[in-house]
Amino acid sequence: MKYLAASVLLQVGLTLAFSLPNIARLSRREVVEDKGDHILICRQEPLELGIVLDSSSSLRNRDFKTAIKFLQEFLSQYEISSDPNGVRVSIISYGKGIYPEIGFNLTTYDTKDEVIEAIGRIPHKAGLRTDTGRAIQYMHEAQLANGVVRPGVTKVSIVITDGNSQEWKLTKEAAEEARKDNIVMFAIGVGTDIRNSELLNIAGDQSRVTKVDNYNQLSSIKESLAHQTCFVQEKTTTTPVPMDEPCGVSDPADIFFVFSPANLGSDGTLWATSFIGLTVDTEDLNQGFRYGVLSGSCPDDAGFNLDAYSTVEGIKNRLESYERNKVQELVKTLADDGFTTARGARANSRKIAVIIAAGKKTSELQDEVAALVAQNIQVFVADPADKGLTLEGATILSGRSSKLQAEAFVSALCPKRS
């Protein structure tokens, strides 16, 4: 084995080895790319990573949740540990001032799972200012201070913001001081309101500035931010054949099934439970998958007592609630907070929603499906009547029985590999 070259790849917007199609991921610490005449091996370096997160009122709560999800997925690429060669993470959020009580420092957590779960608990404070400079100061002087970081380990800070700081001079000065102390600063600007000059003041170099139009686009840059050391290795005469493994091991997924018994009726509900049972009992899906169900069963469906209403209008209003299709309400719940750590979702897994519904689509249901798709959640539709219920952005499962549609769903999740 002979190493011909080595270089550190940490450039926002740079296409890293593992973003290319012909990659074999060996572990969380090593990625191999076959370049034809040589092999590129990327190994993660030790790193002290300080995240500075905007939590001001200019963000909608849904956008803040998207930023949190991005951070969880981004950090899942790292080997986070207290090991001398591991990555350590700190985070400070800010708005009107800084919020150290809801952040954490490099030594607070020792494992990746702990860090990802802690980030998921960070609330949106909706501060009425954008005190980016104070947050950078805190990151530099408290979280990535010389007495805290490991000697000789690379220090990196990533600032995510969608607004311009009121004290732009303080922001510029704080970032300059951090860079003088060998902290590599990256600035991610979200939306059209933030000025490029603000981001450049933070990063110090345009190559470390990234702008995206909205928070949903953050996921497109997570791999290009990963900190890797890459080596070129001469190619041997033989290439090992990769071993087959269950698709859930190489590509895990979190799956929510959504259905309303009130919408489906008793026969349709039996069909739905059969479909779900057949799916989860499939051998291909017995590793790497997690399952959840959102159904329309609730106390409002149970009827009411003799003395519940004293007017005809009250009774009619209650009866109208039985007629309302609750599927779109359930899908909205899934879009708002379904795939969260509190509900068992994992940051590095595919997110999949299976809507089991009958009848015609409504504009409300289509809007909620669009909200799922905007969050990179893959949507499938299973129709017990198999009458072609279509929703834009969703994959429609076909088949006259729950068994056939379950088989179609499993085939879509785990295509047969030749």
Q: Which domains does the chain have, with CATH numbers?
A: 47-229 (3.40.50.410), 247-413 (3.40.50.410)
Identify the pLDDT of residue 230.
47
Tell me the percentage of the chain whose pLDDT exceeds 90: 35
Q: Which residues pair with 97 in a beta bridge?
A: 95
Closest CA relative to residue 330, chosen from 384, 304, 303, 292: 292
Q: Which two tokens stand for residue 22?
A: 């012909």
Instruction: Work out the pLDDT band at 220, boundaries 50, 70, 90.
Output: low
From first CA to last CA, the distance across the chain in angstroms is: 31
Q: How far is CA 404 from CA 105, 258, 397, 410, in A?
A: 51, 19, 9, 10
Say if residue 182's pLDDT is above 50. yes
* H helices present in 157-226, as ranges: 168-180, 196-203
Closest CA relative to residue 139, chosen from 181, 168, 200, 83: 181
Q: Is the pTM of this model over 0.75?
A: no
For residue 40, the Cα-to-chain-centroid distance in whole angstroms is 28
Of 26-35, 39-48, 120-129, 188-197, least confident by mean pLDDT is 26-35
Cα–Cα distance between 391 and 383 in angstroms, integer?
11
Q: What is the per-residue pLDDT across 4-56, written as a single tens digit (0 to 9) for each?
A: 222 222 232 222 222 222 323 333 355 565 656 666 555 567 889 999 999 99
Q: Which two tokens stand for residue 183?
A: 């902290």
Signed CA dihedral, 403, 404, 409, 412: sign only: positive
